[in-house]
C-alpha cells in the first residue's frame, strides 16, 4: 500500500464535538477507570469516552426528562456516564451479572450503608473465631458442586461460601439491598483470582503449564472492598441522576414507561458476531450468584445475541441485503452452521433496531458501536450491513466514524471463525 493510501489516524484524548464522517481516532487511555468504571473486570467493555461524547453532543432538555436507553448495557458504561452528566438512564441485558454490576456502579452509598458494611467486616472477624459453628449454614451457600469443584480448591470453596453466607445474613439483619448488591459484586470480582483458572484469558481455563499461587480469599475480598468503596464514594459525590435496570431482551424492550414517554437518546455496544461468549466466559462468577445453576447458564447461552445455538436450515441462508447474502453464501460453502449464526445475528440486530425505534421520539438518536468481523476468512462488514438494515426500518444515518481498539484482543484461538477486531465503528442513526 502506498503512503498516500494509508488510513489517517487522529490521536486524541477526547473525541471532538463534530467529527467528520470517516474519521478514525486513536483515543489515549485517560480516565478509563475513573469513578465506578473500574469496578469489576468485565470483558470487551467499551471506553467511557464514546457515551460521554454522544451524550454531551446529542442530549437536550427532553433527555433530562425522559432519559437514555442502553439495550445491551454490559458493564453499565453508558449508564454511569449518563448519571455523571445528570441524565436518568435505563439499561437492558440478558446476563444477571451485568444487571447486578450496572446497578452497583450507578448507586451511591450513604453513611448508613457504609456502617452496615463495617458491621459485615465485624461479623466476618467473629465468624472465623469458631468456623465449625457455622459449618451447616456455610454448606448451604456452596453452589452445585459438580459445577465448581474443578475450578476451586476445597478451602477456597468454603471461604467463598462463608462470605456468601455472611452477605445473606447481613441482608436478613439490615434489609438493605444496596449493601447486598455491593458485597456480591465484591465477591464475584475476586472469583477468577482465587480460582484455579488463568487470570488473563477471558474464557475460563486451567493452565497445565503455569500453576497459580493460592490466594487468601478474605484478603482479596477486603482489598477489593476498600478499593470499590473509594470508587463509589468518588462517584457518589458527583452523581446527578438515577439509573434503572428495566429488562432482559434487547430485541423486545417491554418496559411500558419507555413507550409512553418516548426517550430521545439510545446508546449501545452490542455483541460482535461469534466473537465473545459473555455468558460462558462469566460462568464462574455467575455460579456464585443466588439462583444461578447449569440450567440457567444454558438458557442464557441459547438466548444471547450472537449465540452459536442456532437451527441450521437445509437451504442457503438469505437475508435480503445483497452484501450480506453474498457473504452468507460464501461462508455456507465452507461452514453451514457458521453461515446461519451470522444470519441469526443480523436478524436479532434488526429486532433490536425496531424495538429501539419504537422507544424513540421522532428526531431521537440511536448511537451504536459495532465492529466488523472476519468469519471463515470472509469479511463481514457489520457497520455497513446494520446501516442498511436501519434504513429499511426508518432511520437516517447522520454520522459514522471509527476508533482503534486498544488492549482488547481476545486471546482465544478462533480457528478462522471469529478473530481480531481492530476498530470499532460509531454509527449515529436518527428517527
The pLDDT value given to residue 4: 45
Average pLDDT, the chain: 90
d(CA 426, CA 142): 43
Which alpha helices (H) appear in 289-381, and where do they start and end? 294-303, 322-334, 336-359
Which three three-digit cell numbers place residue 141?
451457600
Which three three-digit cell numbers place residue 26?
486513536
β-strand 378-380 against 396-404: which pairing, if any? unpaired
- Mean pLDDT of the 392-405 span: 95
Q: Is the pLDDT of residue 240 over 60?
A: yes
d(CA 317, CA 315): 6
Query: pLDDT for 334-343, tens place per residue?
Result: 999 999 999 9
As a dihedral over the C-alpha atoms of residue 117, residue 246, residue 94, residue 314, rounded to 10 degrees, the angle is 180
The pLDDT value given to residue 274: 67
d(CA 279, CA 281): 6
d(CA 193, CA 220): 8
Q: Which residue has the cell 480516565?
A: 31
Which contiguous run of DSSP H or E holds residue 208? none
Q: Is the dihedral of CA 275, 279, 280, 285 positive or negative?
A: positive
Q: Is the pLDDT of residue 352 over 90?
A: yes
Query: pLDDT for 357-376, tens place per residue?
Result: 999 999 999 999 999 999 99
d(CA 116, CA 180): 10
Determine contact, residues 301/307, Cβ cutoff 8 Å.
yes
Which three three-digit cell numbers place residue 315?
437451504
Count of Cβ atoms closer than 10 Å to residue 226 Cβ: 11
For 246, how many CA atoms within 13 A lie in the half-sphere containing its CB? Answer: 23
Determine contact, residues 245/102, Cβ cutoff 8 Å.
yes
Cα→Cα distances 275→75, 196, 297, 401, Å: 17, 24, 18, 22
d(CA 350, CA 344): 10
Percent of the chain with pLDDT over 90: 74
Which three three-digit cell numbers place residue 152?
476451586
Q: Is the pLDDT of residue 89 over 70?
A: yes
d(CA 353, CA 369): 13
Q: Is the pLDDT of residue 390 over 60?
A: yes
Q: Is the dihedral of CA 366, 80, 62, 18 positive or negative?
A: negative
The pLDDT value given to residue 299: 87
Query: pLDDT for 108-162, tens place per residue?
Result: 999 999 999 999 999 999 998 887 889 999 999 999 999 999 999 999 999 999 9
In terms of phi and psi (left: phi > 0; alpha: psi -120 to 50; beta: otherwise), the region of 274 is left
Residue 76 sits at the vertex; the CA angle it makes with 75 and 79, to the nearest 5 degrees, is 175
The pLDDT value given to residue 276: 63
Q: Is the dihedral of CA 179, 184, 189, 193 positive or negative?
A: positive
Count of Cβ atoms closer than 10 Å to residue 143 Cβ: 22
Query: pLDDT for 299-327, tens place per residue?
Result: 888 888 987 888 999 899 999 999 999 99
d(CA 23, CA 18): 10
Which three three-digit cell numbers place residue 421?
477486531
The predicted model scores a pTM of 0.92
β-strand 89-92 against 10-12: which pairing, if any? unpaired
Q: Is the pLDDT of residue 412 over 90?
A: no
Closest Cα partner for 300 from 283, 276, 319? Answer: 283
Amino acid at each position: 500500500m502506498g503512503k498516500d493510501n494509508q488510513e489517517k489516524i487522529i490521536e486524541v484524548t477526547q473525541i471532538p464535538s463534530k467529527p467528520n464522517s470517516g474519521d478514525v481516532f486513536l483515543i489515549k487511555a485517560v480516565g478509563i477507570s475513573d469513578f465506578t468504571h473500574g469496578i469489576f473486570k468485565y470483558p470487551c467493555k467499551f471506553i467511557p469516552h464514546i457515551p460521554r461524547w454522544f451524550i454531551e453532543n446529542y442530549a437536550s432538555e427532553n433527555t433530562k426528562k425522559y432519559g437514555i436507553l442502553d439495550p445491551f448495557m454490559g458493564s453499565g458504561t453508558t449508564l454511569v456516564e449518563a448519571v455523571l452528566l445528570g441524565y436518568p438512564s435505563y439499561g437492558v441485558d440478558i446476563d444477571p451479572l451485568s444487571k447486578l454490576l450496572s446497578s452497583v456502579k450507578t448507586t451511591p452509598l450513604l453513611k448508613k450503608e457504609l456502617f452496615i458494611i463495617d458491621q459485615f467486616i465485624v461479623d466476618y472477624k467473629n465468624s472465623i473465631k469458631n468456623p465449625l459453628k457455622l459449618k451447616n449454614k456455610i454448606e448451604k451457600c456452596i453452589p452445585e458442586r459438580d459445577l465448581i469443584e474443578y475450578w476451586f480448591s476445597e478451602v477456597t470453596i468454603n471461604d467463598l461460601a462463608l462470605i456468601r453466607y455472611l452477605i445473606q445474613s447481613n441482608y436478613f439483619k439490615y434489609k438493605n439491598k444496596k449493601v447486598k448488591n455491593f458485597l456480591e459484586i465484591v465477591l464475584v470480582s475476586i472469583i477468577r483470582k482465587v480460582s484455579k483458572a488463568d487470570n488473563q484469558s477471558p474464557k475460563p481455563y486451567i493452565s497445565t503449564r503455569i500453576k497459580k499461587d493460592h490466594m487468601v480469599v478474605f484478603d482479596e475480598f477486603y482489598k477489593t472492598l476498600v478499593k470499590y468503596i473509594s470508587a463509589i464514594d468518588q462517584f457518589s459525590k458527583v452523581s446527578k441522576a438515577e439509573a434503572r435496570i428495566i429488562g432482559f431482551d434487547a430485541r423486545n424492550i417491554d418496559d411500558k414507561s419507555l413507550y409512553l414517554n418516548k426517550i430521545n437518546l439510545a446508546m449501545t455496544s452490542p455483541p460482535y458476531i461469534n466473537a465473545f461468549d459473555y455468558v460462558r466466559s462469566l460462568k464462574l462468577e455467575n455460579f456464585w450468584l443466588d439462583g444461578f445453576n447449569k440450567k440457567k447458564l444454558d438458557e442464557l447461552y441459547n438466548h444471547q445475541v450472537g449465540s452459536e445455538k442456532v437451527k441450521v436450515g437445509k437451504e442457503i441462508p438469505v437475508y435480503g441485503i445483497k452484501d450480506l447474502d453474498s457473504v452468507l453464501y460464501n461462508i455456507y460453502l465452507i461452514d453451514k452452521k457458521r453461515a446461519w449464526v451470522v444470519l441469526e445475528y443480523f436478524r436479532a440486530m434488526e429486532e433490536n433496531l425496531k424495538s429501539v425505534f419504537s422507544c424513540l421520539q421522532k428526531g431521537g438518536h440511536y448511537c451504536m458501536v459495532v465492529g466488523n468481523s472476519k468469519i471463515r476468512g470472509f469479511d463481514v462488514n457489520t457497520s455497513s450491513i446494520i446501516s442498511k438494515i436501519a434504513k429499511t426500518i426508518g432511520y437516517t444515518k447522520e454520522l459514522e466514524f471509527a476508533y482503534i481498539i486498544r488492549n482488547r484482543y481476545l486471546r482465544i484461538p478462533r480457528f478462522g471463525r471469529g478473530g481480531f477486531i481492530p476498530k470499532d465503528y460509531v454509527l449515529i442513526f436518527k428517527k
